[in-house]
Amino acid sequence: MADVSKLAPGQKVLMQGNEAIARGALEAGVSLAAAYPGNPSSEILQTLADSARSAGIYVEWSTNEKVALESAAAASYAGLRGMASMKQNGVNVAQDFICNLTISGTKGGLVLVTCDDPSGVSSTNEQDARFIARVACLPLLEPATPAECLKLTKLAFELSEQIGNLVVLRGLARLSHTRAGVTPGPLPEAKPRPHWDPNERWFTIPVVPRHQVMLDKLAQAGELIAAAGVNYYDGPVRPELLVIASGSSRLYADEARRLVGAGGRVGILHMGATWPLDQELILEHLARADKILFAEEVDPHIESGVKSIYAQHVRELGLKDFYGQETGHKPPIGELSPSRVAAAMADILGLPWQETDPAYLAKAKAAQALVAPRQVGFCPGCPHRASYWSMKQVLSADGREGIVSGDIGCYTMGVLPTGYERVNAVHCMGSGPGIASGLGKLRSQGFEQPVISVVGDSTFFHAALPALVNARWNNSDYVLVVLDNSATAMTGFQPHPGTGSTAMGQAGTAVDVEQICAGLGLPYTVLDPYDLEATQEALYDALQIGGGLRVLIFRRTCALVQNKRGGHPWRMSVDPQLCRGEDCGCDRFCTRVFRCPGLVFDQATGKTVLDEVVCVGCGVCAQICPAGAIKARPKEATA
């Protein structure tokens, strides 16, 4: 990412939402920023990391989101400003800390950024992380544009310092990666020196009076937010329909109003801060409209809040019609879009609405037929393909209906055909070994199926360790396979404890998976998943042993990382004389079953051919061809 500390104040530039949040943090004088990578939030920290040296701040990839927020809180207690960014799932990881932090309070401005992923485009869920604001009584800001990202980030730090509590800024996948014009402001001149006054103590007891303090802070935040003018109305004085919206949905509502041609009839209440809700402003606008539509993603956060305000004031306001999740005018699942909001508006106002011109739809359908169907899959040469291949072969040969407990990373795709649908369960970071640990304790009650837990190297450090200690302690019987590709590949190759490098590019201390296993007293073997025979033999043996937790480390660098480091050793070719094609004796085993995209079945000749552009030369497919038709020769030494 770019060094955003170098941007000239006052000069408009194109910026991603995530970059704008990073710039906002710099302008607010953040001193410590920490995160665990996760789409769609990753670029925030990467941008800060790439700006860290010139800005003179500390930026780190932490082992997980909870640790990231705790590190940022440390800055706050030392009188500096701190920020932790994460995807929606990360808020759950950090939640325990958040729910205590909100009672103990903060000193220097402390901001938590959650980038939610409606529709779960790059996530295992589409959770609406705004729940944390209600649960922990925290102010919540929701920008709609990159420019607002910058502005509200700065506001979040101010607010946090004024009330002495954490403030949540919520981004969305669309906003994180949208580019729009942003005008940066000045960077702070100087920052205070970190110091923790030993007379200042931060804890949660006595709980009840401190709970009251927490509520008072929230009330104070409400006043400050009202004064900040981040919520505003745009439309006729007495609209026929009032839309109350936040985040990207504000833009959708604006566009929908134009699409259905109801400009003069619809007003939009833009909510830049959605917790606490600005009651006065909401009452004022409820009084002026009889129909109210909610536009927000994903949960009915504003909807339920506004309805409960209305319930207290129903006598003075009279009867109103509310349209939202409960009436089906806002879907309870998935992303919103301008057309979804337009359909709701048209329905309420009795206007005609056709989502898309039928002629255009017909053309789009025709075009769609021309696009080759594509499956999400592992990259050519991906070590995970080889790893799942071996697991599939061995579990089938083992014949006891073995279970694979999955986890979070590229290798989550083990649930898909590219991973031979070999994974039986995936939830959150670290839940794979936890589930395996429980299964491995059902032996005495007759559970005989072997259990494998797969975790990536980054996940291993993030959340697998407590589950491993648990399994070790309680003597759970399963095989842990660490898919060590020396990268956090899913989210963009961020460093992690095992790689030894850090966010700011300095050398850290590499944390060794083997040493951790040895320290836990776990037997482990390191294998190269590209070597199918050795891997399968070791895995089979590990499954037979039983008795306790044992570890296999499948170590092979991510194919994409390897491509950048000089590539793979083999030049591949397929000998058409030897290829058995569709005959009995093969039946397109490589392209139909193994399915590396580097191999293509040529219908015309009935033989497999190598796609030299796609193949990276890992050499694995040569081991699965029954005819020895796939040849691997060492690449010529480049002069």
Partner 1 sequence: MVPPAASPAPQPTGLERLLAEVINPGLCVACGACLGLCPHLIFLDGQVAAPDACGLTSGRCYGFCPVAQRDVSRESQGPIGPVLGAWQGRATSKDLQGRVQYGGVVSELLALALDQSMVREAVVTAAGLRGTPQGIRVTERTGVLGAAGSVYAGGGALSSLNQALSEDSNHPLAVVGLPCQVQAVQAMKAHPQQPQAARRIHLVIGLFCTMNLPWRGLRKLLARHGVQAPLSRADFPPPPAGIFQAWSNGSYHELPLDQVRALSYPGCAGCPDLTSDGADLSVGACEGKPGWNTILARTHAGAGLLELAAGKGLLELEPAQPASMEHLTQAASDKRKRATAWSEERRHG
Sites of contact with partner 1 (CB under 8 A): 392-399, 420, 536, 540, 544, 582, 584-589, 592-593, 624-626
Question: With binding defined as CB under 6 A, does residue 620 bind ligand SF4?
Answer: yes
Specify the residue, 144 or 391, whose C-beta has the smaller distance to partner 1: 391
Which of 1, 103, 551, 586 is in the footprint of ligand SF4 by CB under 6 A?
586
Specify the residue, 224 or 532, whose C-beta has the smaller distance to ligand SF4: 532
Among residues 638, 486, 490, 489, the alpha carbon closest in space to that of 566 is found at 638
Question: With binding defined as CB under 6 A, does residue 560 bind ligand SF4?
Answer: no
Among residues 348, 301, 360, the alpha carbon closest in space to that of 135 is found at 301
Q: Which parts of 366-425 interact with ligand SF4 (CB under 6 A)?
A: 380-381
Considering Cα of 386, then 387, then 390, then 396, what sign does the dihedral take? negative
Q: How far is the CB of 407 from ligand SF4 (least distance, A)?
A: 24
Burial group, residue 69, by CB count within 10 angstroms (0-12, 13-18, 19+): buried
| Separation of alpha carbons 161 and 154, rounded Å | 11
Considering Cα of 324, then 327, then 330, then 334, what sign does the dihedral take? positive
Q: Which two tokens stand for residue 523?
A: 């037997």
Q: How far is the CB of 632 from ligand SF4 (least distance, A)?
A: 7
| Separation of alpha carbons 186 and 188, rounded Å | 7
Specify the residue, 146 or 380, whose C-beta has the smaller distance to ligand SF4: 380
Q: Which two tokens stand for residue 182?
A: 């942003």
Partner touching 222 among ligand SF4, partner 1, none, CB below 5 to 8 Å by kind: none
| Amino acid at position 426, single letter | V
Which of 280, 284, 421, 587 is in the footprint of ligand SF4 by CB under 6 A?
587
Answer yes or no: are the C-beta atoms of 21 and 463 closer than 8 Å. no
Considering Cα of 274, then 275, then 278, then 282, what sign does the dihedral take? positive
Q: How far is the CB of 352 from ligand SF4 (least distance, A)?
A: 53
Q: How far is the CB of 145 from ligand SF4 (least distance, A)?
A: 42
Closest residue to ligand SF4 in the complex (CB):
598
Question: With binding defined as CB under 6 A, does residue 616 bind ligand SF4?
Answer: yes
In 6-105, beta strands by DSSP E = 13-16, 30-35, 58-61, 81-87
Partner touching 393 among partner 1, ligand SF4, none, CB below 5 to 8 Å by kind: partner 1
Is the preceding omega at residue 298 within 30 degrees of 0, hence cis? yes
Q: How far is the CB of 376 from partner 1 (least distance, A)?
A: 20
Question: With binding defined as CB under 6 A, does residue 634 bind ligand SF4?
Answer: no
Q: How far is the CB of 418 from partner 1 (least distance, A)?
A: 14
Question: With binding defined as CB under 6 A, does residue 558 bind ligand SF4?
Answer: no
Partner touching 545 among partner 1, ligand SF4, none, CB below 5 to 8 Å by kind: none
Window contacting ligand SF4 (CB under 6 A); options: 19-27, 55-63, 131-139, 572-580:
572-580
Which of 369, 584, 604, 613 is in the footprint of ligand SF4 by CB under 6 A?
584
Q: Which two tokens stand for residue 577?
A: 């004389």
Question: With binding defined as CB under 6 A, does residue 595 bind ligand SF4?
Answer: no
The greatest distance separating any two alpha carbons of the chain, rounded to the nearest whole angstrom, comes to: 87
Q: How far is the CB of 607 from ligand SF4 (least distance, A)?
A: 6
| Separation of alpha carbons 415 and 402, rounded Å | 15
Question: With binding defined as CB under 6 A, does residue 612 bind ligand SF4?
Answer: no
Specify the residue, 324 or 581, whose C-beta has the smaller distance to ligand SF4: 581
Answer yes or no: are the C-beta atoms of 362 and 549 closer than 8 Å. no
Among residues 174, 66, 67, the alpha carbon closest in space to that of 115 is found at 174
Specify the residue, 150 or 590, whose C-beta has the smaller distance to partner 1: 590
Partner touching 397 among ligand SF4, partner 1, none, CB below 5 to 8 Å by kind: partner 1
Partner touching 593 among ligand SF4, partner 1, none, CB below 5 to 8 Å by kind: partner 1
Q: How far is the CB of 587 from ligand SF4 (least distance, A)?
A: 5
Among residues 12, 15, 310, the alpha carbon closest in space to that of 143 is found at 15
3-state secondary structure of 168: strand
Which of 522, 589, 602, 623 is in the footprint of ligand SF4 by CB under 6 A?
589
Cα R_g (the chain), whole angstroms: 28
Q: Within 229-290, where are the H helices?
A: 248-259, 279-286
List residues near ligand SF4 by CB under 6 A.
380-381, 572, 574, 579-581, 584-590, 596, 598-599, 608, 615-621, 625, 627, 629-630
